[in-house]
A and B are shown apart, each in its own frame.
Chain A
């Protein structure tokens, strides 16, 4: 499990580093150090280290602006790394496999979300007043559906 986490963490840092300028490689070094520290050492139990490593990866992507496919892969790598750093320590292989199976729904939802965003980004939508109106209507409807409704008081018998 630790090896897989290290691989995902390193890939998460290295992938945006390919498009970073020379000055930005400092971020790569810091990110790799954070990944290493989150896996071993006395600070390994502190969850903030993994978060900082993921933040370094996001900042690297924002600065480097890699391609769309690379960004989609980067998002999934960050998710995988964060999920694995949250795994309980000292699991036997059977329990580890069971734990990984339990993470599959979240990963599947993440893949679907990435695919949806990729699809939306790929569609060329012309600017249209009808589209704006439809979007506003959908937002109002979604808000109306999501808000909790006030429970109706039962009528008193006459």
Chain B
């Protein structure tokens, strides 16, 4: 699978079995707002207060000239009240496209069903969403325009409401109605960081793939030499060795095998600022690895360790990436339940698969799951996605010491996992996964208990 290019939206990739093909974007319309009734505007109340006060002052003080204070307000009230009152305003908000990657632009258009004299559209952004184009508050007057447009940029994956649009309608200066337009939810796919399919289990599958196996076969890479046997191809003869030893030798090539990758996401902990939480980073990393391995023809599955244990059996193909990510949309689910890995079927966790767990290593349940997997003999790699340390409070004298102890505790945890044969990679989400992978040897050994 090719790396999704910037500007290419998820539906375009998902609906293209033979590669990315353009699909016409269809704007999606949110639920129609509840029709709001007209009420008196604050302007009317203000003018009425001034008029009543002026007339009362004129009557009480018997000073008729004080009527001059209230006369303009009364005349303006009469002018505003003139004319018929239209039907209660209604409207809707549309979003285009409905599915996108992080950091891609999304267009939001709020529309009123019927024109009003004056409409003020104010957009309220959700968490981890920035306004790219259009002022936050837009005022449209008269019959010519009843819509407002914005371009938003989501920074966090998930299925969420990007914004809400508050509309204040006025008619004739006297009537006012407020309504809220909610566009439909948008599926924001995590932007996969650059990654390569370099982490491999010690035992590759028998299926033909792109990875060089530790056994002779019909691959490309040099594996070794052996004595010539009848049936060997002449072009495989190693002439240098043959001439030196006086009998024919042939080159052997390494076999090309496929691998199964199971990405595990630890959804027990979710700490950090919105859009950059450990769960956000974990799902981004999972998407990056899935993209890389699916691109080399491997099968990729996913298991979510969270309140509800979810899994997706390994499968190849472009579309599987979106199945994986869509399943990850439901991982934000706080729970106190311990995951029972026995419930994961064998098809979802094949015995010779490489398991990569993205976890901040903060929850004991995730750490016990690691131990459990290791005791089953699963090839396992842990990617630590915790980026932020606990802040040091200058007012508390023992705070710095506590943070230091916390660091030591994490180092001890990583060392104990290493002792179990589980490498722990530290990944800064600002870079690609390749940097973290490069620190590690290619093959992750399997220690049978």
**Which residues from chain A sit less than 8 Å from chain B, CB to CB?**
47, 50-51, 54-55, 58-59, 61-62, 65, 68, 71-72, 74-76, 78-79, 82-83, 85-86, 88-91, 95, 98-99, 102-103, 105-107, 109-114, 116-118, 121
Across the interface, do B50 and A112 meet the contact criterion of CB distance under 8 Å? no
Q: A71 contacts which chain B residues (CB < 8 A)?
A: 65-66, 68-69
Which one, B43, B64, B68, B72, contacts A86 given CB within 8 A? B43
Contacts of B237 in A (CB 8 A): none
What CA separation (Å) do A58 and B53 show in the bound complex? 7
Contacts of B41 in A (CB 8 A): 86
Taking chain B's interface residues, is the majority helix, strand, or loop, or is none over half, making it mixed? Answer: helix
Task: Give bound CA distance, A80 to B39, whole Å.
Answer: 23
B137 touches A117 (CB 8 A): no
Give the top 7 A-B pairs by smallest Cβ distance, nearest first: A110-B72, A113-B75, A47-B42, A71-B68, A109-B75, A106-B76, A79-B72
Cβ contacts under 8 Å, B47 to chain A: 79, 82
Q: Nearest chain-B residue to A116 (Cβ)? A: B71
Docked-complex contact B75 and A68, CB < 8 angstroms: no
In the complex, the answer to whether A110 meets B45 with C-beta atoms within 8 Å is: no
**Contact indicator B68/A117 (Cβ below 8 Å):** yes
Q: Do the beta carbons of B141 and A62 come within 8 Å of each other?
A: no
**CB pair B76 A109 closer than 8 Å:** yes
CB of B70 closer than 8 Å to a CB of A: yes
Instruction: Using CB atoms and an 8 Å cutoff, list the residues of chain B in contact with chain A.
Output: 41-43, 45-47, 49-50, 53-54, 57, 61, 63-76, 78-80, 117-118, 120, 135-137, 139-142, 168, 173
Question: Given A88-B118, A95-B141, A110-B76, A83–B43 Cβ distance below 8 Å?
Answer: yes
Q: Which residues of A contact B50 (CB under 8 A)?
A: 51, 54-55, 58, 78, 82
**Could you list 6 A-B pairs, sorted by A, with CB under 8 Å?**
A47-B45, A54-B46, A109-B78, A117-B67, A117-B68, A118-B68
- Residue in B closest to A54 when the chains form the complex, CB atoms: B50
A25 to B118, CA, bound (A): 39
By the criterion CB–CB under 8 Å, are B69 and A82 in contact?
no
Q: Report B-chain residues with C-beta under 8 Å of the C-beta of A62.
A: 57, 61, 63, 66
Given contacts A51-B49, A54-B50, A106-B173, contact A65 B72 (CB under 8 A): no
B141 proximity list for chain A (CB < 8 A) = 95, 98-99, 102
Q: A51-B45, A58-B53, A86-B46 are in contact. Are A102 and B72 (CB under 8 A)?
A: no
Contact A75 B120 (CB under 8 A): no
Q: Which residues of A contact B76 (CB under 8 A)?
A: 79, 83, 106-107, 109-110
Please state if B71 and A86 are interface contacts (CB–CB under 8 Å): no
Query: In the complex, what residues of A have CB within 8 A of residue B61's CB?
Result: 62
Contact in complex: B79, A105 (CB < 8 Å): yes
Residue of B nearest to A67 (CB): B65
- Interface core residue of A62, A76, A83, A121 (most chain B CB under 10 Å): A62
Closest chain A residue, CB of each to CB of B60? A62
Bound CA span A62–B64, Å: 11
Selected from A78, A90, A103, the residue in CB contact (under 8 A) with B73 is A78
**A114 near B71 (CB under 8 angstroms)?**
yes
- Which residues does chain B contribute within 8 Å of A59, judged by CB atoms? 53
Complex Cα spacing A83 to B41, Å:
12
B297 CB → nearest A CB, Å? 54
Complex interface: chain B residues within 8 A of A106 (CB)? 75-76, 79-80, 173
Chain B residue contacts of A76, Cβ below 8 A: 72
Which B residues touch A54, using CB under 8 A?
A: 46, 49-50
Do residues A121 and B46 form an inter-chain contact, with CB atoms below 8 A? no
CB distance from B113 to the nearest CB of A (A): 20
Complex CA–CA separation, A76 to B73 (angstroms): 8
B residues in contact with A50, CB < 8 Å: 46
Closest Cβ–Cβ distance, residue B75 to chain A (whole Å): 4
User: B74 contacts which chain A residues (CB < 8 A)?
Assistant: 113
CB nearest to A89 among chain B residues: B137
Q: Report the Cα distance A136→B164, complex, angstroms.
A: 57
Q: Are B68 and A114 in touch, CB under 8 angstroms?
A: yes
For the A-B complex with A75-B71, A110-B71, A121-B65 known, give 7 more contacts whose Cβ atoms are closer than 8 Å: A61-B57, A62-B66, A79-B73, A88-B139, A88-B168, A111-B72, A112-B75
Question: Given that A83-B76, A106-B76 are contacting pairs, would A121 and B71 also be in contact in the complex, using a CB cutoff of 8 Å?
Answer: no
Give the residues in chain B near A55, CB-CB below 8 Å: 49-50, 53
| The residue from B68, B120, B140 contacting A68, defined by CB atoms under 8 A apart | B68
The 8 Å CB contact of A114, one of B45, B72, B136, B140, is: B72
Contacts of B72 in A (CB 8 A): 75-76, 78-79, 110-111, 113-114
Which residues on B sit within 8 Å (CB–CB) of A111?
A: 72
Contact A47 B65 (CB under 8 A): no
The answer to whether A65 and B68 touch (CB under 8 A), given A47-B46, A58-B50, A86-B46, is no
Least CB distance from A65 to B in Å reads 7
Q: Which residues of B contact A98 (CB under 8 A)?
A: 141-142
Which residues of A sit under 8 angstroms from B168, Cβ to Cβ?
88
Q: Given A83-B43, A88-B118, decide whether A74 and B68 contact each other with a Cβ distance below 8 A.
A: yes
Which A residues touch B80, using CB under 8 A?
Answer: 106
Which residues on A sit within 8 Å (CB–CB) of B54?
58, 75
**Max chain B C-beta neighbours (<10 A), residue from A75, A98, A103:** A75
Q: Are A68 and B79 in contact (CB under 8 A)?
A: no
In the assembled complex, which residues on chain A have CB atoms less than 8 Å from the CB atom of B42?
47, 86
**Distance of A14 from chain B, by nearest CB (Å):** 15
CB of B416, distance to nearest CB on chain A (Å): 53
In the complex, what residue of chain A is closest to B176 when comparing beta carbons?
A86
Of A50, A68, A88, A107, most B-chain CB atoms within 10 Å: A88
